[in-house]
Structure 1
């Protein structure tokens, strides 16, 4: 089985962006955040900060974005 690419450099590749988008969409829906709002923008920035800090695990990113 081919292992999916996971960035170790903090650079976001297409699969990484798809992962971040999926988490972002889930958290926005759960929290009733309107896409395009300043709150949504802040959430997206936080997701990218986590990723750039070397946090690549979907559950960890989701938990951190949910405030847990």
Structure 2
């Protein structure tokens, strides 16, 4: 069985982008943020910043984005 790659370098691979999009979609829905809005763009930027800073855990990223 092939193990999915999980970045430890801050570089987002396809599986990492799927994870970040899932978190982004959940937080947008929970907070009532319309896709394409300036707030949604800021949320996406913050998600990538967290990931690039070495935060790779789905729960941690989601929690940090929900607090924003």
Q: Which runs of 4+ in 1 moved over 3 A?
A: none
In the alignment, which residue of structure 1 is the partner of 2:66?
66
Q: Under a length normalisation based on structure 2, what TM-score does the superposition of the two structures give?
A: 0.94
Point out where structure 1 has 5 or more consecutive residues left out of the alignment.
none
Point out where structure 2 has 5 or more consecutive residues left out of the alignment.
none
How many positions carry a matched residue from both structures? 68
Aligned equivalents of 2:13 and 2:56: distance in 1? 12
Superposition RMSD on alpha carbons, in Å?
1.3
Residue 9 of structure 1: how far off its partner (Å): 1.0
Residue 4 of structure 1: how far off its partner (Å): 2.4
Q: Under a length normalisation based on structure 1, what TM-score does the superposition of the two structures give?
A: 0.94
Aligned equivalents of 2:54 and 2:9: distance in 1? 8
